[in-house]
Copies of this chain bind each other. A is one copy, B any other.
Amino acid sequence: MEIAVIGVGHTEFGELWSHSLLDLIAQAQLQALSDAQLAPEQIEEVIVANMCASQLLGQGHLGAVATDILGIQSPAFSVEAACASGAFAVRAGMRSILSGQATVVMVTGAEKLMDSSIEQVATGFMSASVCDVEHAKGATFPGLFAMIARAYLAEHRITREQLAQVSIKNHRHGKKNPLAHFQREITLDDFAAAPMIADPLTLLDCSPISDGAACVILSSVDFAKKLGRPYVTIIACEAATDKVNIASRSSIIELAATIKAADKAFAAANINRSDIDVVEVHDAFSPAELMGLESLGFFKPGQAAAATMEGVTSSAGALPVNLSGGLKAKGHPVGATGISQIVELTRQLRGDAGERQLKKAQYGLAHNMGGIGTSVVVTILAQRS
Q: Which residues of B contact A82 (CB under 8 A)?
A: 60-61, 64
A58-79 vs B, CB cutoff 8 Å, 1 = contact: the mask equals 1111111101100011111111
Cβ of A171 within 8 Å of any chain B Cβ, yes or no, is no
Q: What distance in Å separates the Cβ of A203 from its nearest Cβ neighbour in chain B?
A: 25
Cβ of A231 within 8 Å of any chain B Cβ, yes or no, is no
Q: Which residues of B contact A51 (CB under 8 A)?
A: 54, 60
Q: Which residues of B contact A100 (CB under 8 A)?
A: 98
Cβ of A129 within 8 Å of any chain B Cβ, yes or no, is yes
**Known interface pairs A80-B80, A81-B76; A58-B240 also in contact (CB < 8 Å):** no
Which of B60, B260, B375 lies in contact with A64, CB distance below 8 A?
A: B375
Cβ of A227 within 8 Å of any chain B Cβ, yes or no, is no
Q: Which residues of B contact A124 (CB under 8 A)?
A: 54
| A57 near B244: Cβ-Cβ < 8 Å | no
Q: Which residues of B contact A99 (CB under 8 A)?
A: 94-96, 98-99
Q: Which residues of B contact A54 (CB under 8 A)?
A: 51-52, 54-55, 80, 124, 127
Q: Report Cα–Cα, A370/B127, bound state, in Å.
A: 23
Nearest residue (CB) in B for A99 is B98
Q: Report Cα–Cα, A12/B99, bound state, in Å.
A: 34
| A81 near B55: Cβ-Cβ < 8 Å | no
- The tally of residues in A whose CB lies under 8 Å from a CB in B reads 67
**Known interface pairs A64-B81, A98-B100, A244-B65; A131-B76 also in contact (CB < 8 Å):** no
Q: What distance in Å separates the Cβ of A50 from its nearest Cβ neighbour in chain B?
A: 9
Cβ of A341 within 8 Å of any chain B Cβ, yes or no, is no
Q: Which residues of B contact A123 (CB under 8 A)?
A: 58
| B79 near A79: Cβ-Cβ < 8 Å | yes
Cβ of A132 within 8 Å of any chain B Cβ, yes or no, is yes
Cβ of A150 within 8 Å of any chain B Cβ, yes or no, is no
Q: Which residues of B contact A72 (CB under 8 A)?
A: 241
Q: Report Cα–Cα, A61/B82, bound state, in Å.
A: 5
Nearest residue (CB) in B for A20 is B132
| A77 near B242: Cβ-Cβ < 8 Å | no
Cβ of A374 within 8 Å of any chain B Cβ, yes or no, is yes
Q: Report Cα–Cα, A242/B92, bound state, in Å.
A: 22
Nearest residue (CB) in B for A3 is B99
| B240 near A75: Cβ-Cβ < 8 Å | yes
Q: 17 A–B contact pairs at CB < 8 A?
A: A55-B60, A58-B126, A58-B127, A60-B80, A64-B242, A64-B375, A67-B241, A68-B244, A72-B241, A73-B257, A75-B88, A76-B375, A79-B80, A94-B99, A96-B99, A98-B98, A98-B99
